[in-house]
Chain A
Amino acid sequence: MLLIALLCVVGGMACGRHLPRLWLALVLAGMAAAIGAASLALGDGAGWEWRSAFRVGGEALHLRLDAISAMFLALMGVVGGGGAVYALGYWTDRDHPDSAPRGRLWWNVMLLSMGLVLLSSNGLHFLIAWEMFAISSYVLIALDRQRRDARAAGWLFLAASHAGTLCLFAFFAMLAARNGDWDLGPMSGRAELAPLFWLALAGFGVKAGLFPMHFWLPSAHANSPSHVSALMSGVAIKMGVYGIVRFSGWFPVPAAAGWIVMGAGAAGALLGIAFSLAQNDLKRLLAYCSVENVGIIFIGLGGALLGAAHGDAPWSRLLLAGALLHVWNHGLCKSLLFFCSGSVLHATGTREMSRLGGLWRAMPWTAGLFALGAVTISGLPPLNAFVSEWLIYLGLFDAASSHDASGWAAVPAALALAAAGALALASFIKAGAVVFLGAPRTEAAERAHESAPMILGPMFALAGACVLIGLAPVALWPAVAGAAHAWRPVWAAAAPAAPLFALGLANVALVVLFVFAGALLWRKANANGLRRALTWDCGYKTPSARMQYTSGSFGRTATDWFSSILLPQRHLRRPRGPFPARAALMGHFPDTVLERIIDPAAAAVMSLSLGARRLQHGRIQFYIVYLLGGLTILAMIVLLG
């Protein structure tokens, strides 16, 4: 199966440049094979392991596909395939003759390297695949090389992820130094490996966009082509999650790990969504929402670590299951939303919500799908994200009820989760309403058009997946339980620790009733007679589209509560005089971590480098002085040592 996948993806690379259709077919086949392999591995919990004598970089190839990697592999398969279809409709050769073929090539490279990251069970090969993955994502982010901000975003991503990669250098090098070889595998007995967890957390956290290491994420996801954003946000940042799940499962972790991870997750969930609510750029909004959801995943993961430390409390199983399931759910619905945003961008040419509005008339399908995605991402029943958040809630409730120290973590996390959920609802109501409802605010929005079936198809597929998972969560339990078992072997794959069946039942009933009631009311309204009239405007005679609530005004109430962290930059020009010419209020929410921490640090380093470069002033006499200085210092060292 995997071999087929490999062959197809590599073949796709070969023909991606000139034969888009064949490329698509190959990628789809490859992804199908990958999903098949993953589902096989998930079906029997045993997993699959393969050592070959073939050496790469002096290390024997060692692949392993267990339930954990299979979960991520399946997600990659779905989004990777969908994105490939989307790409052909969205980033066409006609519009981008130069970058579209390159995009197809690197798309396969990225899929391949992510697959290798998931499979390889050897530190050296893991690092190779990891770095290839980073570079290919850089190329895809900066695919549109002509745009300066795309390049800047790409470079920021590359720099941040390379910093993370070097943490992983240290991580794997220390590991190899202690083990004597690069081979990876379960070594839970080795207590002395525990401190390495911090390196792994730093290295993978950057890639996962774990707060506060998320600073690269918004610009990268906002500026890349939408199918790339979908893959990045849906799958790529999950690779960081995979890394932490994988190595926290294989190696012992320090006692504080659970607390730190959970705290970072809670902070990320709350602040991420607060930033999201503040954004006016549709894709930045989605990107920050990814920060939130990664935070939610890490709440679950940290809880699981905590529970594992507290004698394998049963609730930690719920938390881990929730986290893993949320990886899927967020991956699916976030890709759906990015696809929607891409379709909007494609139709109107702008990501600024305040320039859009009333798009539902032009593009009803996109609007409907976005509404569905919004309901999902806000974690509302009866759709899939609710299921995983519900599991996490249950775990937190049980942890709190256990009356031991873990409650100190569980209660704040639960409250943060609640607030984050409500904020997410606000954020996505805002996005959906400002973009799709009301009256179009600009020409561009009026001239919008529905996207091609090539673009809509993947969106429908993903939406269908979201609904299905929401309706039959119990069907996924074996997979999740298998992964939990692989993560911590003492947790034997048991019957659902939570009444997923009942939940699914309730969800099905709800969906049926929704459809029924909606149809009934619609028919009734039509039967009573339905007139169209202007929106009631308090007697104002000439209503204009500019009068609508904008994204800024909608989010203002809630974002002001966080203004000490969001640090909004508002430029207000008040109307003056008896006949005010023009007034304006512009709000802008830059990323606080980037603006207040990273940039000053970078400036400091650059000034240091500038000072150092003054020493290279071209006067040879001083160069000889440097030489003698080096001589003296070395002599000192020799004398002292």
Chain B
Amino acid sequence: MNPLTISVELIFRLALWLLLAPLLPGIINRVKACVAGRKGPPVLQLYYDLARLWQKSVVMSTLASPGFIVGPAVAWVALTGAALLMPIGTANGALSFKGDVLLLIYLLALARFCTAWAALETGSAFEGMGAAREVSYAVLTEAALIAAVLSLSVQSGSSTLGTMLAPSAGPGAILLAAGLFAVLLAENCRVPFDDPNTHLELTMIHEAMALDHSGPPLAVILHGASMKLLLFAVLLSQAVLPIGKLPQPAAAAVLAGSVLAVTVGVGLVESLMARFAFRRVPLLLTVAFLLCLFALVLAWKGGAQ
């Protein structure tokens, strides 16, 4: 396989991720609007926002260091790298090796680190609050995530994303799906963990961290968030469904369909549920963790015979 094709494939993959990602929030908003019986914003709203923000000038806190701007960039790169590691359908990730799944998870952690760092640059109590909540809840989500991928690797006997995600999740599929969906909601700060379009700072997590950002950095943060959402949707679909075993076109179709389904599901949850009180968030996350853990146990026992 000559470098030309590699680079072409890489660029294609990159374009796919970067261009498709902002679609998801649009879909979610559209779904919420439909359920609420309103005519919501256009599906491509986020694209317009990003384009506009990219042109805007930047207001920066007097306390902030260059890290305030470099942080989001590094976070965005980390998310992109994570996305590139993710196999699509039958195609492996751009770089696929034993244990790449851990690199993916820790790239997400790195992104979290940079976002939180950039947020704390301002020294504002709101950002502090948001960052504290983000990193604290991450303890549980990360444990849940590790449990989930561990169950996948036990199921498939491998720790390479390509081979882990190809088959279905086996006996624990339902539990895993539920657990990963909860993790998705928590990691992307959706209802019931957080309300992305609230405007009461005291109740915000992710939005609170972005309070002081503006212009291109904000655009980068928003785009990164949408890409994270897409990433989790893809991970969820591929983990649960035996997509890797299908022929390529079918795989692509199923993947697209399931991602769409997940997105709509998120939208439905947001329109049907209310945000939890922060006290109860750890409880819900623990439930998610336990779901993944049970999936792991099932996979282990299932694989035993």
> Given A379-B106, A397-B150, A521-B220, does the pair A535, B123 have CB atoms closer than 8 Å?
yes
Contact indicator A506/B81 (Cβ below 8 Å): yes
Interface: B197 (CB within 8 A): no
User: Could you pull out 22 A-B pairs where Cβ atoms are within 8 angstroms?
Assistant: A403-B303, A403-B304, A415-B143, A421-B106, A437-B63, A437-B121, A437-B123, A505-B95, A520-B73, A521-B69, A521-B216, A524-B54, A525-B60, A525-B217, A531-B60, A532-B61, A536-B61, A553-B132, A554-B131, A557-B132, A557-B136, A561-B282
Inter-chain contacts of A530 with B (CB < 8 A) = 57-60
| CB-defined contacts of B98 to chain A, threshold 8 Å | 394, 498-499
Q: Once the chains bind, are B66 and A502 in contact (CB under 8 Å)? A: no
Q: Using Cβ atoms and an 8 Å threshold, which residues of chain A touch B139? A: 419, 422-423, 426, 558
Contact B97 A499 (CB under 8 A): yes
Question: Is B135 in the interface zone, CB < 8 Å from A?
Answer: yes
Main secondary structure of the interface of A (DSSP, over half): helix
Given contacts A400-B150, A530-B60, contact A518 B73 (CB under 8 A): yes
Show the binding face of A for B, using Cβ within 8 Å.
Answer: 357-358, 360-361, 364, 367, 371, 374-375, 378-381, 386, 390, 393-394, 397-398, 400-401, 403, 407, 411, 414-415, 417-419, 421-423, 425-426, 429-430, 432-433, 437-439, 498-499, 502-503, 505-506, 509-510, 513-514, 517-518, 520-522, 524-525, 528-538, 545, 547-549, 553-558, 561
Minimum CB–CB distance from A495 to chain B (whole Å) comes to 13
A414-B150 contact in complex given A401-B157, A421-B142, A499-B97, C-beta closer than 8 Å: yes
A517 near B74 (CB under 8 angstroms)?
yes
Q: Which residues of A contact B74 (CB under 8 A)?
A: 514, 517-518
Residue B19 is within 8 A (CB to CB) of chain A in the complex: no
Interface centre among B62, B126, B150, B211 (most CB of A within 10 A): B150
Most-contacted residue by chain A among B56, B138, B282 (CB, 10 A):
B138
Minimum Cβ distance to chain A for residue B205 (Å): 11
Q: How far is the CB of A412 from chain B (nearest CB, A)?
A: 10
- Tell me whether A532 and B62 are in contact (CB under 8 A): yes
| In the complex, residue of chain B having the shortest beta-carbon distance to the beta carbon of A533 | B59
Task: Point out the residues of chain A lying under 8 angstroms from B60, CB to CB.
Answer: 525, 530-533
Q: Which residues of B contact A429 (CB under 8 A)?
A: 113, 116-117, 120, 131, 135
CA distance A537 to B110 in the complex (A): 27
Answer whether residue B124 sits at the interface, using C-beta atoms and an 8 A cutoff. Answer: yes
Q: Is B55 an interface residue (CB 8 A)?
A: yes
Which B residue's beta carbon lies closest to that of A530? B58
Find B159's partner among A397, A415, A433, A510 (CB 8 Å cutoff): A397
- Inter-subunit contact A554/B132 (CB<8 Å): yes
The complex places the Cα of A47 from the Cα of B132 at a distance, in Å, of 49
Question: Is the CB–CB distance between B143 and A418 below 8 Å?
Answer: yes
- Report how far A358 CA is from B63 CA in the complex, Å: 8
A235 to B97, CA, bound (A): 33
Are A554 and B128 interface neighbours, CB within 8 A?
yes
A390 adjacent to B120 (CB under 8 Å):
no
Known: A503-B103, A506-B95. A439 touches B146 (CB 8 A): no
Best-surrounded residue of A414, A502, A524 (most CB of chain B within 10 A)? A524
Check A549–B142 contact: CB distance below 8 A: no
Please tell me if B212 contacts chain A, counting CB pairs below 8 Å.
Answer: yes
In the complex, the answer to whether A380 meets B106 with C-beta atoms within 8 Å is: yes
A438–B120 CB distance below 8 A: yes
Contact status B65-A528, CB under 8 Å? no
Contact B117 A415 (CB under 8 A): no
**What is the minimal beta-carbon distance from A288 to any residue of chain B, in angstroms?**
16
Question: CA separation between A393 and B117, bound complex, in Å?
Answer: 26
C-alpha gap A561/B128 in the complex (Å): 19
Q: Is the CB of A360 within 8 A of B136?
A: no
- Whether the pair A400, B153 counts as a contact (CB closer than 8 A) is yes
Answer whether residue B232 sits at the interface, using C-beta atoms and an 8 A cutoff.
no
| Contact (Cβ within 8 A) B143 A419 | yes
- Among residues of B, the one whose C-beta sits closest to the C-beta of A423 is B139
Other A-B pairs, 12, CB within 8 Å; known A411-B296, A419-B139: A361-B65, A371-B67, A378-B113, A394-B98, A414-B146, A422-B109, A425-B112, A433-B128, A498-B98, A549-B120, A556-B132, A558-B139
